[in-house]
Amino acid sequence: MYTPIPFSSVTISDAFWAPKLRVNRENTLPIEYEQCKITGRIDAFRLDWKPGQPNPPHIFWDSDVAKWIEAASYSLSTHPDPQLDALLDEVIALIASAQQPDGYLNVHFTVVEPEKRWSNLRDWHELYCAGHLIEAAAAHFQATGKRSLLDVLCRYADYIAVVFGVGEGQKRGYCGHEEIELALVKLARVTGEEKYLALARYFVDERGRQPYYYTAEALARGDAPEKFWARNYSYMQAHIPVREQREVTGHAVRAMYLYSALADLLPADPSLRPALDALWQDVCLRKLYLTGGIGPSRHNEGFTYPYDLPNETAYAETCAAIGLAFWNQRMLQLDCDSRYADVIERALYNGILSGVSLDGKKFFYENPLASIGLHHRQAWFDCACCPPNLARILASLGEYIYSQSETALAVHLYVQGSAEARIGGHALTIRQETRYPWDGEVKIMFDLDAPFEFDLRLRLPGWCQHFHLEINDSLCKAPLENGYLVIRRSWTASDVVRLELKMPVERIYANPNVRQDAGLAALQRGPVVYCLEAVDNSAPLEQIYLPREAAFTARFDADLLDGVVILSGEALAADPSDWRQSLYRSNPPRFSPIQIIAVPYYAWDNRQPGAMRVWLNDCGVSCQV
């Protein structure tokens, strides 16, 4: 077992992530607070809304405020800010004032529909909101040491434990939108209270058992269960008990939050492992976009069937990619297997980062892999789950870089900066110097009081075919274990590790079962997936073909998109000029050579509006000039 080095012990000082984290602190967090304020989400905790008034508090408003508190608390941990600290105190006091005498805390079901409390766990979000408030309370306590929100949420969790369970008079229910399960694990860790872990286990163990609670619940409120719009409970992963699940179904974010909770509970309950392994294989080998996005369907905000990965209509919700990172980060701690870190990296550098504009002020809810130029980031959403979710994962990014055990220090992500670790009773600081992801050279050094032995585990990314490893300027041949180069030695403060990850431009092809990508290829360099944007290219993107023999040059452009490596090379463009009188004909199109430019997918739609494509026509040998 490994433990992530807390983000509060990690300093990020590189040229890639550090500016993005600064934008998150200085732009995104204030904007999200203002949006929560002007839309009524924060003031709703005053409980002064009356029937007949406009803008009734929504069933999930509490969660948006909670995620902002969590993100702001993470920011305080790494960058103290008295003004932000005071603002958090103000919002938390308002939330505390909304708690009911019995411990209940939910704005909508306090002032809008109080008679419907706990009457529709299937569709409504009471336990979901409770989970996000619990996560916020844990984060705020860890950041500040203040119990102002933690005590409120402990009281709420205690009340929930009275309402739900297998005892006489308790409801045998569980949330339609998973979240509280993983939150209760966090609460147990922060407080040391086993009772919260027991409640998390209850919600996990009860899920999917028959007779279905949701059916009985619907009948009790006078609804016909068969009229449930999703038709069955696979939408919320409640169709069968979790230990029997082998195929990921339904709403993508709900699935990721559930699997995160299962991974949290796995060390004490190995019976969860077969399900988790099978679900991971199903997601990451059959249902994962090249960009780290998941969930192709708008209809259910989630999964359909294996290898169904449309590009222009891809839903790929930002929150789902974030949830995928949450789950894989937990799986990574179990046995330090690089396949989990590979998924985290793919999501972070592509499908998560694409969710926010470079200035941190606009957001994607959906992340398609192709656009005709009509898809753009927005300042906010009625369902505003994605913006604060982005803020909290960016603010806690440091926790994804390293893990430690009693005998090993693992480096999962290559990010310039430092981290304070403790291995086998010894304290040390690890330092990285690198220009990753634009450059594959990584230099690692240590600050320690005295030499001691431990394993340094360096992840060899799945995209890397060739590498070079040195210690103190001498070639090092380290064994590869679970995708990590393992260097076991007694380390000193003078030791220097140099790892060079060769980073050529690669053509990527999809599994032939992905029908939407048949005959197409994508471009990737290191962990970064590339796309074409109309603003950079002279031909319509759908008319561009990649010759198999064409070479691409990678060049860093400091003035473009806040500094990116762009790819340039020769391609072919179909000539439509002689098709003016034809919609169809027997002769194939003629092609002309053109120069194309590809930019990182995460940075698209930050300039003038226009078309975008990740997957490009693969010319093969059939294109004739």
Q: Would you please indicate which residues are annotated as catalytic (active-site) residues?
A: 301, 385
Phi-psi domain of 364 (left: phi exceeds 0; alpha: psi -120 through 50; beta: other) = beta
Number of helices followed by number of strands (H, E) in the chain: 14, 23
620: alpha, beta or left? (left if phi > 0; alpha if psi -120 to 50): left
Angstrom distance (rounded) from CA 263 to CA 280: 11
**Alpha helical stretches, state H, 237-385:** 252-265, 273-286, 318-335, 338-346
The 3-state DSSP composition of the chain as helix, strand, coil percent (nearest 5) reads 40, 20, 40
Distance of CA 428 to the CA centre of its chain: 29
Single-letter residue type at 419: A
Phi, psi of 295 (to 5 degrees): 85, 85
Distance CA(121)–CA(111), nearest Å, equals 18
- Which residue blocks in 374-487 are alpha helix, DSSP H? 386-395
Looking only at the bridges linking them, the beta strands covering 474-475 and 528-533 are: unpaired
41 φ, ψ (degrees, to nearest 5):
-65, -40
Nearest in space to 600 (alpha carbons), one of 308, 326, 292: 292
The dihedral of CA 414, 507, 318, 152: what is its sign?
negative
Compute the distance between CA of residue 323 and CA of residue 279 in angstroms, rounded to an integer. Answer: 14
Strand 505-508 versus strand 520-525 pairing type: antiparallel
What one-character DSSP code corresponds to residue 25? I
Give 302's DSSP letter: B
The 10 Å Cβ neighbour count of residue 532 is 27
**C-beta neighbour count of 305 within 10 angstroms:** 11
| Helices within 41-176 (DSSP H only) | 61-78, 82-97, 126-144, 150-163
Angle at 279 between CA 277 and CA 283, to 5 degrees: 120
CA 575 to chain centre: 41
Beta bridge partners of 429: 420, 447
CA dist., res. 274 & res. 150, Å (int): 34
Contact by Cβ (8 Å): 232, 239: yes
One-letter amino acid of 492 = T
